Protein backbone atom coordinates (compact mmCIF):
# COMPACT_ATOMS: atom_id res chain seq x y z
CA UNK A 1 0.00 0.00 0.00
CA UNK A 2 2.79 2.41 0.99
CA UNK A 3 4.69 1.61 -2.19
CA UNK A 4 1.59 2.40 -4.25
CA UNK A 5 1.18 5.74 -2.46
CA UNK A 6 4.82 6.66 -3.08
CA UNK A 7 4.43 5.87 -6.78
CA UNK A 8 1.39 8.14 -6.94
CA UNK A 9 2.98 11.03 -5.06
CA UNK A 10 6.35 10.82 -6.77
CA UNK A 11 5.91 9.44 -10.32
CA UNK A 12 9.07 8.04 -11.82
CA UNK A 13 10.75 9.46 -14.92
CA UNK A 14 11.72 6.56 -17.15
CA UNK A 15 15.08 6.72 -18.93
CA UNK A 16 15.65 4.63 -22.03
CA UNK A 17 18.20 1.82 -22.02
CA UNK A 18 20.19 0.25 -24.83
CA UNK A 19 22.80 -2.46 -25.16
CA UNK A 20 26.29 -1.67 -26.39
CA UNK A 21 28.84 -4.30 -27.35
CA UNK A 22 32.52 -3.64 -27.87
CA UNK A 23 33.38 -6.41 -30.30
CA UNK A 24 36.53 -8.62 -30.39
CA UNK A 25 38.31 -6.38 -32.90
CA UNK A 26 38.00 -3.30 -30.64
CA UNK A 27 38.21 -4.85 -27.16
CA UNK A 28 41.73 -3.48 -26.74
CA UNK A 29 40.20 0.00 -26.98
CA UNK A 30 37.45 -0.68 -24.42
CA UNK A 31 38.66 1.85 -21.84
CA UNK A 32 38.94 4.58 -24.45
CA UNK A 33 35.46 3.80 -25.82
CA UNK A 34 33.94 3.78 -22.32
CA UNK A 35 35.35 7.24 -21.74
CA UNK A 36 33.64 8.46 -24.93
CA UNK A 37 30.39 6.83 -23.78
CA UNK A 38 30.44 8.69 -20.46
CA UNK A 39 31.33 12.00 -22.10
CA UNK A 40 28.35 11.51 -24.43
CA UNK A 41 25.94 11.71 -21.51
CA UNK A 42 25.32 8.00 -20.89
CA UNK A 43 25.21 6.24 -17.55
CA UNK A 44 26.69 2.73 -17.58
CA UNK A 45 24.20 0.64 -15.61
CA UNK A 46 25.83 -2.75 -16.15
CA UNK A 47 29.10 -3.96 -17.60
CA UNK A 48 30.69 -7.33 -18.10
CA UNK A 49 33.51 -8.81 -20.14
CA UNK A 50 32.73 -12.20 -21.59
CA UNK A 51 33.30 -14.51 -24.51
CA UNK A 52 30.25 -15.87 -26.30
CA UNK A 53 30.10 -19.39 -27.67
CA UNK A 54 28.90 -19.88 -31.27
CA UNK A 55 25.54 -21.08 -29.90
CA UNK A 56 25.18 -17.97 -27.73
CA UNK A 57 26.07 -15.76 -30.69
CA UNK A 58 23.41 -17.50 -32.78
CA UNK A 59 20.83 -16.81 -30.07
CA UNK A 60 21.89 -13.18 -29.78
CA UNK A 61 21.78 -12.56 -33.54
CA UNK A 62 18.66 -14.63 -34.14
CA UNK A 63 17.09 -11.77 -36.13
CA UNK A 64 19.90 -12.05 -38.70
CA UNK A 65 19.51 -15.79 -39.21
CA UNK A 66 19.45 -16.51 -42.95
CA UNK A 67 21.15 -13.23 -43.91
CA UNK A 68 24.36 -13.31 -46.03
CA UNK A 69 26.42 -11.98 -43.12
CA UNK A 70 25.26 -14.58 -40.58
CA UNK A 71 27.78 -17.39 -41.43
CA UNK A 72 30.78 -15.07 -41.00
CA UNK A 73 29.32 -13.03 -38.13
CA UNK A 74 29.01 -15.96 -35.71
CA UNK A 75 32.67 -17.13 -35.93
CA UNK A 76 33.87 -13.52 -35.64
CA UNK A 77 31.76 -12.66 -32.58
CA UNK A 78 32.79 -15.86 -30.80
CA UNK A 79 36.48 -15.49 -31.69
CA UNK A 80 37.45 -13.51 -28.60
CA UNK A 81 36.23 -11.54 -25.59
CA UNK A 82 33.71 -8.71 -25.87
CA UNK A 83 32.58 -5.99 -23.49
CA UNK A 84 28.84 -5.68 -22.92
CA UNK A 85 27.34 -2.52 -21.43
CA UNK A 86 23.82 -1.45 -20.59
CA UNK A 87 23.64 2.27 -21.30
CA UNK A 88 20.98 4.70 -20.08
CA UNK A 89 20.01 8.27 -20.96
CA UNK A 90 17.21 10.12 -22.71
CA UNK A 91 16.80 8.70 -26.25
CA UNK A 92 19.58 6.22 -25.51
CA UNK A 93 18.89 3.93 -28.48
CA UNK A 94 18.86 6.62 -31.15
CA UNK A 95 21.76 8.52 -29.58
CA UNK A 96 24.02 5.47 -29.34
CA UNK A 97 23.20 4.51 -32.94
CA UNK A 98 24.12 8.01 -34.11
CA UNK A 99 27.44 7.89 -32.23
CA UNK A 100 28.54 4.50 -33.57
CA UNK A 101 27.44 5.28 -37.13
CA UNK A 102 26.71 3.08 -40.17
CA UNK A 103 27.21 -0.69 -40.05
CA UNK A 104 29.89 -0.74 -42.76
CA UNK A 105 33.02 0.82 -41.25
CA UNK A 106 34.66 1.26 -44.66
CA UNK A 107 31.75 3.37 -45.92
CA UNK A 108 31.43 5.10 -42.58
CA UNK A 109 34.96 6.48 -42.97
CA UNK A 110 33.71 8.33 -46.06
CA UNK A 111 30.21 9.38 -44.97
CA UNK A 112 30.52 9.68 -41.16
CA UNK A 113 34.26 10.04 -40.42
CA UNK A 114 33.63 11.17 -36.82
CA UNK A 115 31.58 8.12 -35.79
CA UNK A 116 33.03 5.32 -33.65
CA UNK A 117 32.76 2.63 -36.32
CA UNK A 118 34.80 4.80 -38.68
CA UNK A 119 37.41 5.29 -35.98
CA UNK A 120 37.64 1.76 -34.57
CA UNK A 121 36.21 -0.54 -37.26
CA UNK A 122 37.84 -1.84 -40.42
CA UNK A 123 35.06 -3.46 -42.47
CA UNK A 124 31.36 -4.32 -42.50
CA UNK A 125 32.04 -7.43 -40.43
CA UNK A 126 34.72 -6.00 -38.14
CA UNK A 127 32.88 -2.81 -37.26
CA UNK A 128 33.96 -2.59 -33.60
CA UNK A 129 30.59 -1.90 -31.96
CA UNK A 130 27.00 -3.01 -31.66
CA UNK A 131 23.90 -1.02 -30.72
CA UNK A 132 20.29 -2.10 -30.29
CA UNK A 133 17.97 -1.19 -33.16
CA UNK A 134 14.79 -0.57 -31.16
CA UNK A 135 13.31 -0.69 -27.66
CA UNK A 136 12.13 -4.28 -28.12
CA UNK A 137 15.53 -5.32 -29.52
CA UNK A 138 17.27 -3.64 -26.57
CA UNK A 139 14.98 -5.43 -24.12
CA UNK A 140 15.73 -8.82 -25.66
CA UNK A 141 19.48 -8.22 -26.02
CA UNK A 142 19.96 -6.90 -22.49
CA UNK A 143 18.11 -9.92 -21.12
CA UNK A 144 20.29 -12.17 -23.25
CA UNK A 145 23.55 -10.77 -21.84
CA UNK A 146 22.31 -9.77 -18.38
CA UNK A 147 19.58 -12.34 -17.52
CA UNK A 148 18.69 -10.76 -14.16
CA UNK A 149 18.05 -7.31 -15.60
CA UNK A 150 14.80 -5.47 -15.00
CA UNK A 151 13.95 -3.36 -18.03
CA UNK A 152 11.88 -0.26 -17.32
CA UNK A 153 8.78 0.07 -19.53
CA UNK A 154 9.07 2.68 -22.27
CA UNK A 155 6.50 5.45 -21.72
CA UNK A 156 4.02 6.31 -24.44
CA UNK A 157 3.85 9.80 -25.90
CA UNK A 158 0.55 10.33 -24.08
CA UNK A 159 2.09 9.33 -20.73
CA UNK A 160 5.04 11.66 -21.28
CA UNK A 161 2.79 14.59 -22.19
CA UNK A 162 0.59 13.93 -19.16
CA UNK A 163 3.62 13.86 -16.85
CA UNK A 164 4.91 17.17 -18.22
CA UNK A 165 1.47 18.77 -18.06
CA UNK A 166 0.75 17.62 -14.50
CA UNK A 167 4.13 17.78 -12.75
CA UNK A 168 6.56 19.94 -14.73
CA UNK A 169 4.72 22.75 -16.52
CA UNK A 170 2.87 24.23 -13.48
CA UNK A 171 6.10 24.71 -11.50
CA UNK A 172 7.98 25.95 -14.55
CA UNK A 173 5.22 28.46 -15.30
CA UNK A 174 5.44 29.88 -11.78
CA UNK A 175 9.20 30.16 -12.09
CA UNK A 176 9.06 31.92 -15.45
CA UNK A 177 6.43 34.34 -14.09
CA UNK A 178 8.70 35.30 -11.20
CA UNK A 179 11.60 35.47 -13.63
CA UNK A 180 9.76 38.07 -15.74
CA UNK A 181 9.00 40.13 -12.62
CA UNK A 182 12.58 40.07 -11.31
CA UNK A 183 14.46 40.41 -14.62
CA UNK A 184 17.70 39.00 -13.10
CA UNK A 185 21.14 39.73 -14.54
CA UNK A 186 22.06 36.03 -14.61
CA UNK A 187 18.83 34.42 -15.88
CA UNK A 188 20.06 30.82 -16.04
CA UNK A 189 21.51 30.85 -12.53
CA UNK A 190 18.45 32.65 -11.13
CA UNK A 191 16.02 30.17 -12.69
CA UNK A 192 18.10 27.17 -11.58
CA UNK A 193 18.16 28.48 -7.98
CA UNK A 194 14.43 29.20 -8.08
CA UNK A 195 13.61 25.69 -9.28
CA UNK A 196 15.78 24.15 -6.56
CA UNK A 197 14.13 26.27 -3.85
CA UNK A 198 10.62 25.62 -5.16
CA UNK A 199 10.80 21.93 -6.00
CA UNK A 200 7.31 20.60 -5.10
CA UNK A 201 8.76 17.17 -4.29
CA UNK A 202 11.14 18.52 -1.66
CA UNK A 203 10.00 19.21 1.92
CA UNK A 204 10.03 22.87 2.98
CA UNK A 205 11.60 23.67 6.34
CA UNK A 206 10.07 26.72 7.99
CA UNK A 207 12.29 29.23 9.74
CA UNK A 208 12.06 28.96 13.54
CA UNK A 209 11.16 32.64 13.91
CA UNK A 210 8.33 32.23 11.44
CA UNK A 211 6.95 29.28 13.39
CA UNK A 212 7.04 31.18 16.67
CA UNK A 213 5.36 34.17 15.08
CA UNK A 214 2.59 31.95 13.73
CA UNK A 215 2.00 30.50 17.18
Instruction: Check: CB of residue 59 under 8 Å from CB of residue 101.
Output: no
Catalytic entry in 28, 95, 112, 130: 130
CA distance 10 to 3: 10
Asked if 54 and 78 count as a contact pair (C-beta separation under 8 A), the reply is yes
- CA–CA dist 128, 80 (Å, integer): 13
Give yes or no: 130 in active site: yes
Who contacts 24 (Cβ-Cβ below 8 Å, separation ≥6)?
A: 76, 77, 79, 80, 81, 82
Catalytic residues, by residue number, are 130
Amino acid sequence: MQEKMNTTLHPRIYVEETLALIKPDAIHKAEEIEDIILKSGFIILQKRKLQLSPAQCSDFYTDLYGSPSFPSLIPFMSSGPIMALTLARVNAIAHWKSIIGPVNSTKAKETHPECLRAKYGTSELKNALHGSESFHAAEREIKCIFPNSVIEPFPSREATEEYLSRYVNPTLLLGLTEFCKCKPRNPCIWLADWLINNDPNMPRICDAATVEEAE
